[in-house]
A = this chain, B = another copy of it.
Amino acid sequence: MTGAGQASDVFARRPKRADARRNYEALIAAAREVFAEAGAAASLEEVARRAGVGIGTLYRNFPTRRDLFEALYVEEVRELSRSAADLGDLPPWDALVAWLHRFIGYVATKRALAEELVHDSEVFRSCRTEIYTAGEPMMRRAQAAGAVRDDISFDDVVRLLSGLTMAQFPQPEQRDRVLGIALDGLRPPTSR
């Protein structure tokens, strides 16, 4: 369960001809932009326009709105999951904190997508698995080292921080401070 096989079917539909692949990437990029700007209800025609392709091309690649969401989401999760590897040589607590920072950053871009995908999606579920596979060991390690309290689960942490990504933070330093408060809550009573 490395996660590599889990959601690979999503990428199976990735086209092979050069122009097709180019359009596919352009659509993904445009969709990322448009949804970030206008929310999950943004017009698909706008996405196609911004990608510089016809609306027909969009629908061939992503027959439904949800298909587009899923492709976008999977892409994002992949990157996050992969990034856990870089942190192996940090001390347990530092590694966890660093990864959670990335977690917030990644998730923040697409709160709208998640909103849409929560409802029974195979892909969404396997992405969750992928994130947990990446993050849970880091937390266990921190717990084993006594840096994180024992009475909470990784799931608790994810939810606590997911929330933060939704909130609007005009200045990024406030976001960091608030994240700091939340992280203090993870500490065992003695090690503050």
A positions within 8 Å CB-CB of B:
41, 111, 118, 152, 155-157, 159-160, 162-169, 174, 177-178, 181-186, 189, 192
Q: Copy number of this protein in the oligomer? A: 2
- Write the nearest CB–CB distance from A160 to chain B, whole angstroms: 5
Residue of B nearest to A189 (CB): B192
Q: Judge whether B178 and A159 touch: CB under 8 Å.
A: yes
- Write the nearest CB–CB distance from A103 to chain B, whole angstroms: 13
Which of B159, B184, B185, B189 sits near A174, CB closer than 8 Å? B159
How distant is the Cα of A170 from the Cα of B119 in the complex, in angstroms? 12
Q: Can you list 21 A-B pairs, Cβ within 8 angstroms, ordered by A?
A: A41-B41, A118-B168, A152-B177, A152-B181, A156-B178, A156-B181, A159-B164, A159-B167, A160-B167, A160-B178, A160-B181, A160-B182, A162-B166, A163-B165, A163-B166, A166-B166, A166-B167, A181-B182, A182-B185, A183-B185, A189-B192
Contacts of A182 in B (CB 8 A): 160, 181-182, 185
Contacts of A192 in B (CB 8 A): 189, 192
- Write the nearest CB–CB distance from A114 to chain B, whole angstroms: 9
